[in-house]
Structure 1
Amino acid sequence: MADEQDVRALDYLYEAGLLKRYRRTGWVVAGVAAPESIADHSHRAAIVAAVVAELEGADPQRSAFLALFHDTQESRLTDIPYIGKRYLKAASNAEVTADQTAGMPEGLARLIGGTESEYEARESAEAVCARDADKLECLLQAVEYREQGTDTQAWIDTSFAALKTSSAQRLAKLALERTPLAWMHEARDAKSPK
């Protein structure tokens, strides 16, 4: 018979899989035909967090870890659109995380709960970088969707306004000046090393 704590750990992994299915509802509202999933967003947010943290002199691995877990509660809450939050009283991320980790091995529950707590408190440099990564990733995605013909200016504006670190602000300004595929054209046109 399986150990109950291992069952709870496995269940959490299956639950996290829902994040691959759930779409980011803001993009649905914007009219994006095939919007990114919550997992898509969290994946690039973790990469963005590592970049921002390195530029800010914080721990990139810790920041990426925080960003990777930042939306895991949405496996139970889904991605409530911004306007919907006005009318709904959702449980706090701490409450959801506590329910998600109940019955897990103590160390694992502490790891996941501590990650949520650190991210939400935004007191460590890594948490600030992870939060900026969440917003910067949204801005990048909005720019990409804008390039595809969807009006995403409101997402660009609110994401930009939420950035706290100078590194994230610099990258956001650059993202607004540079097309998302400029890197590809430059790489294609660069001379190949012999």
Structure 2
Amino acid sequence: MSRHQDPSAAVAAFGYEMGVLKRIRRSGWWQAGVRDPESVAEHSLRVAQLAALLAAEENGDPERAAYLALWHDSQETRTGDLPHSARPYLAKPDPRAITADQTAELPEAAKSSVRAAVEEYEARETLEARCAKDADKLEMLLQAVEYRSVGVQHVDRWIASARKDLHTATARRVAEAALRMSPLSWHDR
């Protein structure tokens, strides 16, 4: 028998779990000297926004790309944010398996929707999934530039990593533009 026989209670419980993302910090930034890095939820919001913009410019479905991006780090409620320096010591958790556990109690439509989004994002076979992944890397690049602008000195490896992993032409152009401007350029217009 399931813990949440009431579908509404299952959605509410899942909502509480997703709220944990607001408290999990992006841990890799601690290694760069950032004392209070952004949360996974803050990161995911800008990733979803950027994914929509990239998809629109690449003639894809902005809504789908944003939806995929919303779920791309949702598994971190169970694992925390693992920095890249952990890779040699830990096997990468399977996002699909974590998502299956997280969504097990959800009503069928909600469960299928989240699982399909995570599957599509992880497979990277659709334009929208590639835009969502590029948005993840682009967001990291923007965050690194923002941290650098307030005095964090050791962010070059994050910028280089993000640039190397961009696949769409739009994301590459946006990254190059972002590196030539101040994070406050939007304010100076």
- The answer to whether the superposition gives a TM-score over 0.5 is yes
Question: In the alignment, does 2:180 pair up with 1:177?
Answer: yes
- The alignment of Structure 1 onto Structure 2 pairs a total of residues equal to 185
> Normalized against structure 1, the TM-score is what?
0.92
Aligned pairs for 1:29-108 (under 5 A) are 29-108=31-110
Q: CA offset at residue 89 of structure 1? A: 2.0
Please give the secondary structure, in 1, of the residue aligned with 2:91.
Answer: coil
- % identity of equivalent residues: 46
TM-score by length of 2: 0.95
The answer to whether residue 172 in structure 2 is matched with residue 161 in structure 1 is no
- In structure 1, C-alpha distance between the alignment counterparts of 2:137 and 2:78, rounded to whole Å: 22
Alignment of 1:92-171 (within 5 A): 92-150=94-152, 151-171=154-174
Which AA in structure 2 matches 1:178? Answer: M
Instruction: Write the deviation string for residues 5-34 of structure 1: whole angstroms up to 9, x where unpaired.
Output: 332221110000000000000111111121
Aligned AA (1:156)? I
Q: Quick one: structure 1 residues 166 and 90, their matched pair in 2 at CA, closer, same or farther if it must change by over 3 Å?
A: closer
**Letter of the structure 1 residue corresponding to residue 167 of structure 2:** K
Alignment correspondent of 1:192: none
- Per the alignment, in what secondary structure is the counterpart of residue 188 of structure 2? helix
CA RMSD of aligned residues (A): 1.1
Q: Distance in 1 between matches of 2:65 and 2:21?
A: 20
The answer (yes or no) to whether the contact 1:77–1:90 under 8 Å persists in 2 is: no
Kindly state the Cα deviation for residue 139 of structure 1 after the two structures are TM-superposed: 0.3
Amino acid at match of 2:58: E
1:86 is paired with a residue whose SS is coil
User: Residues of 2 paired with 1:152 and 1:144: CA distance?
Assistant: 10
Question: Quick one: which amino acid aligns to residue 181 of structure 2?
Answer: R
Partners of 1:85 and 1:14 in 2: how far apart?
29
Partner SS state of residue 174, structure 1: helix
**Structure 1: which 5+ runs fail to align?**
187-194
Residue 23 (structure 1) aligns with: 25
Q: Distance in 1 between matches of 2:185 and 2:165?
A: 26
Q: Report the residue type matching 2:52 in the other structure.
A: A
Which stretch of structure 1 is more off in the superposition, 103-112 or 127-136? Answer: 103-112
Q: Distance in 1 between matches of 2:96 and 2:147?
A: 32
CA drift of 1:90 comes to 4.2
Q: Provide the rounded CA distance (Å) in 2 between the counterparts of 1:32 and 1:184.
A: 24
Asked if structure 2 preserves the Cα contact closer than 8 Å seen for 1:163 and 1:169, the reply is yes
